[in-house]
Amino acid sequence: MTSSSPLTASAAAPLLCIDIGNTHTHLALHQDGVLSGHRDIPTPLLDDPAQGLPTVLAALRGPTAPAGSSTALSIAFCSVVPAATPRLLAAASAAGLSAWQLTHEVRLGVPITYPRPAEIGQDRLANAAGAHALAPGRPAVVIDLGTAVTFDLVTPVGGYEGGIITPGPALVTRYLHERTAQLPLVTDLQTPVASVIGKSTAEAIRIGAIVGYAGMIQALLDAVLAEYAARRLPSAEIFLSGGAAQMVQGRLRLPARVVPDLALTGLAAAHALNHR
């Protein structure tokens, strides 16, 4: 488990925001409008007593808090791993904490006009809530580059309207390795590409993943923005989130706002809307 800064609570009522993903669970403490202490926990270790959420909750509650006692700390979470949800709830309950889940049935700040809202990943709804919180009243395109690459499309009238899903770059490189006899597994998708002429098999795969993926993202973005323009919508705010956001940012033709913790921002905003 890694952290960018210590995860500690102060006097103001804190909110622990948790985004349970397929590979990793991302969390940070929201307090006074600021997210801090970002951590990643491998989702299979979410409730591990030594490496998972119980250690985080124990640190936040402090060493003198008796087991089962309540605290001002609350939890807001979203999950795309249904089996992990009861594990989080059990860990929260053991610490004497309440946990609020973002679903399609809560207030997000924008309506949902998607025909089957229960099918929408909760992380995508959190992204929509975050986009609205950061760019209220504007159309938004949220591109989340994780295990899967998702586009979430938000408009002033339709709210959350739908999106696009495609496999993420790491899935593609892993698939090439697993489905071929000689292609190596390439995991470095962060180092910038200096030349598009690969001088090794691994380098050729990296170029395809990094440069090719940015081209696919741009093509999809062009199609979305063309549809927005045909509907005479104002200019859209473009958000990039997820682990591969920086990889794509410099290769898009339009400026995009990188917000790695957009889902956590959306969790905090939606929690505030639903607890007034």
Say which of 19, 47, 48, 123 is annotated catalytic.
Answer: 123
Q: How many CB atoms lie within 10 A of CB 40?
A: 17
Distance CA 125, CA 111 (A): 11
Phi, psi dihedrals of residue 50, rounded to the nearest 5°: -100, -30
Q: Which helix (H) or strand (E) holds 96?
A: none
**Separation of alpha carbons 233 and 129, rounded Å:** 19
Q: How many residues are listed for the chain in this entry? A: 276
| 262 vs 144: CA distance, rounded Å | 9
CA distance 29 to 206: 35
Task: Give the Cα separation of 247 and 101 in Å (integer).
Answer: 31
Say if CB 103 and CB 266 are below 8 A apart.
no
Q: For residue 123, indicate whether it is catalytic.
A: yes
**Closest to 104 in 3D by CA, of 84, 86, 123, 125:** 125
Under 8 Å between Cβ of 76 and 18: yes
Residue 242, classed as helix, strand or coil, is: coil
In 3D, which of 65, 63, 42, 66 has the Cα closest to residue 53?
Answer: 42
Dihedral pair phi/psi, residue 133, rounded to 5°: -65, -35
C-alpha to C-alpha distance for 1 and 216, rounded to whole angstroms:
32
Instruction: Point out the residues that are catalytic.
Output: 123
